[in-house]
Amino acid sequence: MDGIEPVAAALRRARGVVVLTGAGVSVESGLRPFRGRDGWWKGRDPTTLATPEAFEADPSLVSEWYDARRLAALAAAPNPAHEAIAELERQVVGAGGRFLLVTQNVDGLHQRAGSVRMVELHGNLTVWRDHRSGQRVTPGPAPFEAYPAPGPDGGWLRPDVVWFGEFLPQAALSAAAVAVASCDVMLVVGTSAVVFPAAGLVGQAAAAAAVTVEVNVEATPAAVGHRLIGPAGEVLPRLVREAFKADPR
């Protein structure tokens, strides 16, 4: 992999670091991405299921897909990429710097790896809510008995995630924008970088003169200064080791 040393040096010097992650960071935990054939489920493209219209048209199908993803996330374990990001946070914060992890993922694996300073832009799959009242529940580890599952207030349970066309949680988005505006380094990990507003954060970091770095198995349209091409579970531990002489595992 080319170019890891300049990125490691930038991380060592940085007073503010932002990490933006997408579904690719959980692929090495056995979870599926959204885009590309690997993400398809029972012949369906996930991007056609993650919408309020899809839930309205076929609540049974959309609930079953999200429940399968919920159970897969609960059964999965964080991988070395999640662990390296948690270690990066400890290093930066331990040296008195600012750190924020901004994730588009809904699987909860970052928290389980030890990340603390983080926001979930697209919600969390382990929490569901009554589609009428909005009341939240955290279902147990077994599959729902019916699809859609009945909610506590007479509606149906839907995942507490952001669907296409819905608003992102304002507090999370504001925290991300503030952190990006004052960061020195932004790592963009395992995201196809096509879904806004998350993808727009990369341009904001570049406009704030931050060093921008993509970590991905392939180059995406994200306009970044550095690309570290390879699996995040290999690239990130190496980067953190190189930057801080620390072993994330």
Q: List residues with catalytic annotation.
A: 122
How many Cα neighbours within 13 Å face the side chain of 64? 9
Neighbours of 197 (CB within 10 A): 12
Q: In whole angstroms, give the CA distance from residue 52 to residue 59.
A: 9
Minimum distance, C-beta of residue 199 to ligand OAD, in the bound complex (Å):
8
User: Considering the rule CB under 6 A, would residue 29 count as an interface residue with ligand OAD?
Assistant: no
Neighbours of 27 (CB within 10 A): 20
Q: Using N-to-C axis directions, what is the helix angle for 80-94 and 232-244, rounded to 10°? A: 20
Minimum distance, C-beta of residue 34 to ligand OAD, in the bound complex (Å):
3
User: Considering the rule CB under 6 A, would residue 50 count as an interface residue with ligand OAD?
Assistant: yes
Q: In whole angstroms, give the CA distance from residue 16 to residue 6.
A: 16
User: Considering the rule CB under 6 A, would residue 108 count as an interface residue with ligand OAD?
Assistant: no
Residues 196/183, Cβ–Cβ less than 8 Å: no
Is 91 or 191 the residue whose CB approaches ligand OAD more closely? 191
Please give the size of the binding site for ligand OAD, defined by CB under 6 A: 26
Segment interacting with ligand OAD, rule: CB under 6 A, options 64-72, 87-95, 162-170, 241-249: 162-170
- Contact residues for ligand OAD, defined by CB under 6 A: 22-24, 27-28, 33-35, 39, 47, 50, 104, 122, 162-164, 190-192, 195, 216-218, 220, 231-232
